[in-house]
Amino acid sequence: MAGAGQAIDQNALDEWRARILADPGLVLDDPEVMRSLVLASEQAMGGNVVDLRSMAMERLESRIERLEETHRAVIAAAYENLSSTNQIHRAILKMLDGERFEDFVLSLGGSVAEVLRVDCQHLVLETADGGAAPEPLKSVMAIRGPGYVERYMSLGRSVPPRQIVLRQIAPADQSGSHGDGLYGDRAPDLRSEALLRLDMGPDRLPAMLAMGSEDPHRFKPGQGTDLLAFFAGTFERVLRRWLA
């Protein structure tokens, strides 16, 4: 029985040897197998011998791991950017579906907000005498006096004007002097917002599109704003035509 078992083991070893000789990648492409072989080689040489090949391999493995991590990060970033681009494009198409001004504005709080994955959107128009938005549009549009957009976006501080502001917010922010109850009943639930300054053309006061999210990480300083800037540029052009 022992002889038969040894014969079977030898046959298996011969088979594995033939497979490895035919395809060395079976060993070379397996980091754990290669690590075990190198370790066995070091043990056979003894502790008084420095194996430079082993040190070089460890460094090479470390570099390969870093390269793989970078590769995965680049792919993930590219995929996220493509996904965000498609999202903005779909939102613009939804925005253009409206056949009336009321439909255009109300879509901000409905289909457009859903596509952009924000919990609410509010359009702010500045007028010389203030006033109030038409009753059907009050849920998504507000009328404010001159200077409101700048005060809200800068929080009343003396800073250079920016087209896009991303920031995290707390419930108290919505009841302060700069907030003016912009988000209404939704304010206590919001934790971040994106503010898009809208250029309404020569001799017209500016406007603003505010996007609020319950996710504190949805909008925060340091995030890219190129796609939001594109959306703002498209939105303001459509809005100008409706108001012309």
The neighbour count for residue 115, using CB atoms within 10 Å, is 19
Length in residues, the chain? 244
191 neighbors 215 (Cβ within 8 angstroms): yes
**Domains located in the chain, CATH noted:** 97-243 (3.30.450.40)
Could you read off the pLDDT of 96-120 as tens digits, one per residue? 887 888 888 888 888 888 998 999 9
The SS3 assignment for 124 reads strand
- Alpha-carbon torsion angle 79, 82, 84, 86, nearest 10: -140
CA distance 83 to 72: 16
pLDDT bracket for residue 175 (50, 70, 90): very low
> What distances in angstroms separate CA 182 from CA 44, 143, 148, 186, one per listed residue?
75, 10, 11, 9
| Model confidence, pTM | 0.66
Per-position DSSP letters for 177-242, written without gaps between them: TTTTTTTGGGGGG--EEEEEEE---TT---EEEEEEES-TTTS-TTS--HHHHHHHHHHHHHHHHH
pLDDT exceeds cutoff 60 at 174: no
Can you give the pLDDT at residue 25?
73
CA distance 130 to 132: 7
Could you read off the pLDDT of 123-167 as tens digits, one per residue? 999 988 877 778 888 888 888 889 899 999 988 787 788 899 999
CA distance 6 to 157: 85
CA distance 136 to 228: 27
